[in-house]
Amino acid sequence: MAAEDVRVRVCLQEIVKLQLEITAFIQDIRECDGPLDRLMTINSEVRENLGNLKSKLQDLERMGNEQDKESDKQTILRDVQNHRKSMASTIVSLRQANLMANLAIDKKEKEDLLKGSTDVRKRNINNKESLVSSANSITESLMSLSKMMSGQVVQSQDTISSLESSSNTITGTREEFRSMSGHIQNSRKLLTKYNRREVTDKLLIFLALVFFFSTVLYIVKKRIWS
C-alpha cells in the first residue's frame, strides 16, 4: 500500500509539472507576434504536453479505482476531476491566446507590408542611383584602361625598336667573332708551322754536332795511333 501511495504522489507531481509547462507555453503564445512558424511550433509542444497530461490523468484515475480504501479512492478521483476541470480551462485559455496571437501576427504582417512598399520605393531609388554611380565608375575605369593600354602600346613599340637595335648589334658582334675566329685559326697554323721548323732546326744542329765530334775523334785517334 505504501508503494501505491508513492506511485500516486509521483503521478500527481508529473501532472502539476505538465500543467505549469502548458501555462508557460500559453504565455509564450500570448506574447508571440510572429512569425507564424514559431506560433505553430509552440502549439505543437502544447498539444504534446496536453496529450501527456491526459494520459497521466487516466493513470491517476486507474490507480484511484484500484484503491482498497473507499476514502483514498474518492480522494484520488476527486483530484482527477479537479485536474480535468483545470485542463479544460487551460484549453480555453489556449484558444484565446491563439486568437490574440493570430490577430497580432496579421497586424504585424500588414504593417510590414506597408512598410515594405515604402522600403521598396526607397530601394528602387537607391538602386537607380547605385546603377548610375556604377556606370560612371565603369566608364572611368574603361577610360583609364584605354589610356594604360595606349601607354603599353607605345612602350611595346619602344621595346621592339630596342630589340631590333640589339639584334643588329648582336649580328655585327657575331660577324666580328667570325672574323676573329679566322685570324685565330691562321695564327694557330703559323705557330704550328714555326714549331715544326724549330724541331727540324734542332735536329739538324744535333746531327751536325754529332758529325763534328765524330770527325774530331777520328782525327785524334789517327794521330795517336800512327
Give 82-118 pLDDT, tens digit per residue.
999 999 999 999 999 999 888 888 888 888 788 765 5
Predicted structure pTM score:
0.49
pLDDT grade for 131, boundaries at 50, 70 and 90: very low
Q: What is the pLDDT of residue 13?
A: 94
pLDDT bin (cut points 50, 70, 90) of residue 153 is low
Is the confidence at residue 19, as pLDDT, over 90? yes
Q: Which of 50-68 are b and which e, b meaning 16 or more Cβ less than 10 Å from the residue's Cβ?
A: bebbeebbeebbebbeebe
Q: Which pLDDT tens digit goes with each residue over 176-224? A: 767 777 767 776 777 777 677 777 878 888 888 888 888 888 787 777 8
Least reliable range by pLDDT among 65-79, 92-106, 124-138? 124-138
Rounded mean pLDDT, 2-29: 89
Which of 94, 52, 95, 67 is CA-nearest to residue 5?
67
Nearest CA to 50 out of 194, 111, 58, 141 is that of 58
pLDDT of residue 185: 78
Rounded distance between C-alpha atoms, residue 148 and residue 171, angstroms: 34
pLDDT of residue 191: 72
pLDDT of res. 79:
92
Neighbours of 46 (CB within 10 A): 23
pLDDT(171) > 80: no
pLDDT at residue 12 greater than cutoff 80: yes
